[in-house]
Amino acid sequence: MSEPLAFASSPELAVELRGPVLWLTITREERRNAMSHGVLAGMAQAIAQAQSDRSVRAIVVTGAGSKAFCAGADLQNAQAFTTDYSEPHGHLAQLLRVAKASYVPLIARVNGACMAGGMGLLAMCDMAVASSQAVFGLPEVKVGVFPAQVLSVLQHLIPRRTLVEMCITGEPISSAQALEFGLVNYVDEEVDVKLAWLLARMLDKSPAAVRRGLYTMKKMETMAFEESMAFTESQIALFTLTDDAREGQNAFQEKRKPIWAGR
């Protein structure tokens, strides 16, 4: 097995491997963890790098402190939305593309306010756990813009009428509403306790099944029914050919815990 890769942090983004979980923490607490171009590029690089490191089983995205998960773009920066108008691909768009292609599960740890572009970071994740004190919003209309890129990952996640209201009024919703609308999986006073619980329930499962399963789910999302059936007819056979599938079935028959190879 190859050696685990080394991940690089920056003053604005802490990248830390805690066992099998890669933590990406925005460390701009004084700016309510607003996104900078460096934060977005660093996240994209870390997530892309994790795809080739089999020791990474999950990626947690969060913000430093307890007040904000991410307040969106840093509006104090004159180039908050782009650094080069001749460049077709922006940093947030590139991050969302990398997250969409990730077969390592992404989990948002929403520790506080989740606003504007922060909603994009939340929505790009496969699961989310939020603090009871967290609030969520798309306030872009209040400064004369609109959450255009965020809609690409948010539009199929929550009810359309709720999404329209959030976009055109800019008014926030509570963590309880976010749970009701399916924006997050869990809300808890002790967000880290709930996150640890969720990670534990995932990390003892087959790495091969999770990796190939996320690939299958993401590929199916834009397929019509017959196309998705034809695709999954071939995929199900590939699942059964993995070492993990053989081990899982043997362990079931022998009434023991499986020992996953991750292949």
Instruction: With beta carbons less than 8 A apart as the criterion, state whether 171 and 133 touch.
Output: no
Identify the domain containing residue 241 by its residue range. Answer: 207-254
The verdict on residue 59 lying in a domain is: yes
Task: Give the pLDDT of residue 1.
Answer: 46
One domain for residues 127 and 230:
no
Q: Could you tell me if 223 and 171 lie in one domain?
A: no
Running along the chain, 263 residues long, what does each successive block of 10 average in pLDDT?
72 96 97 94 96 96 96 72 62 93 97 96 98 97 92 94 97 97 97 98 96 94 94 90 93 94 92
Q: Which pLDDT score is estimated for 83?
A: 57
C-alpha distances (whole Å) from 84 to each of 12, 81, 94, 232, 247 are 21, 9, 14, 41, 51
* pLDDT score for 91: 83
pLDDT at 87: 64
Per-residue pLDDT at 106: 98
Measured on CA atoms in the order 182, 183, 188, 191, is the torsion positive or negative? Answer: positive
Residue 121, judged by CB atoms within 10 A of its CB (0-12, 13-18, 19+), counts as: buried
CATH number of the CATH domain containing 103: 3.90.226.10
